[in-house]
Structure 1
Amino acid sequence: MKKADDQLPVNTGRQHANTSRSGTDNVMNNLLESLHHDDFEQLAADIKQSLEAHRHWMQRITTALVARQPLEENQFIAVDAHLHCHFGRWLTKIFQDELFQQGSFLRIEQYHRQLHDAARTLIYQLNHHAEVDIAAFEKFMQLQKEFFDMVMMLFEFSVLNKQQFDPTTRLMNRRSVDSVLANEYSRMQRADDYYCCVAMADIDQFKQVNDLWGHDVGDLLLSHTAKIFNDAIRRHDTVSRYGGEEFLFIFPDMRLEQAGLVVDRIRKQLANSSISHHSHLHSVTASFGVTQLCRHCDIKGSVKRADIAMYAAKESGRNCTVTVDSQAVVGQTSYEHLNKEITELIRQHCKRVAPGTD
């Protein structure tokens, strides 16, 4: 019985240094921050379809080995066979987006390439009427298991995170956005020169819309507002439905002055839009509060500071943007310590973004 190494050289593909579980978690956090509800649905569907195609590929190899029937297609014998199967074509497609050129996806690509290389070794032996090497076959089966486990982990993640979105707005819900906040807070703790801002938004007079026009119109207004918000932000920004008619924005790598201008531009886009329902046009505005995610206080404290700024915007006449600089507030270290005195101090440092500034 010959050794597998005596047959065809196996191309091990790209080597990826960080294969730890923490690396996988970072990729998942990046996906959660960057993908929309529809993206997760498409990701789950694509993985399921591609994996089923790979099952068929696996079945054809097994049948061929048992029946001693040669295989001649490129997906079995080409040096770049991993690019010719359905799964390989899907990977090539998603790698056009740099978001997927990391962590778990690169490791799946590595397993997939090695799996095809191992299969090519077996098929080379089969097509040349040689005895199939048992060690090579065992290696092939082990790679298949590792590949399948990795893809299933990604599939389960995509399916699970379809449930992390609010069904009305199709934005992240509060529970899932908390993990994004925690990730940004951790990044801030590790780098002194890293900045992140958060913003709270509340639809103006939303209760009156529900009372006057009904919850169907209210849901349409929420969905419309969410689309305006989501379309207006960068891909690595985040907007979520935080509760009721409230929304939370996260702006990584952005200072307060810039965040205030960005949010006020979003405010104007919303105010200039409307929805139509049974021949009635409904306009919508919102009030916004913006602040920094602060490395010297807890996450709840920063979100609460944005919330106070948002209510200051409400009291300023609604449909405006108010910022508050965390560095101007002394003594706020946690949500629990946010007493009336500190709340009033925060209110005193609230500044309205001047209309017309972009």
Structure 2
Amino acid sequence: MAHAEREGLACGRLTIDLEALADNWRSLAERTQQTECGAAIKGDGYGTGLEKAAATLSRAGCRTLFTAVPDEGLRARSAAPESRVFVLAGLLPGAAEAYRKGGLIPVLNCPDEVIEWAEYCAAAGQRLPAAIHLDTGMNRMGLSLEEARLIAAAKDVVARFDLVLVMSHLVCGGDPANPLNARQLERFHEMTALFPGVPRSLANSPGIFLGADYHFDVARPGISLYGGRAMDDGENPMRPVVTAEARVLITHSAAKGETVGYGAVETLRRDSRIAIVGIGYADGYHRLAGAGGGHKPANAWVNGHVVPLVGRVSMDLIALDVTDVPEADCSRGDWVEMFGPHIPVDDVAAKAGTIGYELLTGLGSRYTRTYIGGS
């Protein structure tokens, strides 16, 4: 089926601006200056399509990619064969040969992974690359200080593979005033001193905005590449990459005092015109962005007009209050921006009590996708 025909049958569509993705990477690379700027493309390229994201970033000049799981790593290697590809989930048990064949670089997160990779490299007669993850305060993945000391002291173990990176992850980087940032930075200096001469990586998207002290040798931005907000406050300087739209299925009138949607959580305060659009939480648009959560619902944008959601978000349908929109500007078949250049994804996420990451990575399979700006 041709793309135009598929879109004609779709109730939701995504437009993904690959040139904006490339521009965002170039902007972040300018901020990091002498630090290599890599890219996190996990979560299917934050919902943009992993292969498209990897190829676009590679063409822009990115040479280091970070994926979450091995399958993502293999897909990234296929799309960007000139790039280094790190697997943040680490070395899965018994999978070292598959990592070698796939050209994947495991991020070793515990002593057992370090030993297994070292033993595999010794048996294969190759010093294959790996990274070591250091836990500086997240208490999620990575070697503790004591474990790092033991591994660093076991020089015969580390010498069996090529240690190309030591890294850690910021807990509160989006809040520059949080004292944990400085404590993590101090701990990172302490722990990486155990591995002298090895390139270091600490800065994710927020870390880049925290300044040069956090940049080290390799930065690995994620959400900022895809247009999301990295810092808790202030303007977001990144270009939006993903536009999610829903088709108007019907419009109808409803009288003051009537309720809209499940649970009757919202009562109309005036005679209203309601537009029903064809996406919902099955498409990754969060239920809590609608009414009933104790806050004002999210907004959408239709032909130059900002309109609020009304009632609860359903699995497949969302109601919008278009009373103040001329009928000619909102009628059956029109497309409504649910988030994108006019409705920032982080604004919608905030209404739903979540973050832009979750909306982007949770985009459903029913949208048609259009890519623009790619070569």
TM normalised by structure 1 equals 0.25
Q: Which has the larger radius of gyration?
A: 1
**Looking at both structures, which has the greater relative contact order when contacts are Cα pairs under 8 Å and sequence separation is at least 6?**
2
The structure where strand makes up a greater share of residues is: 2
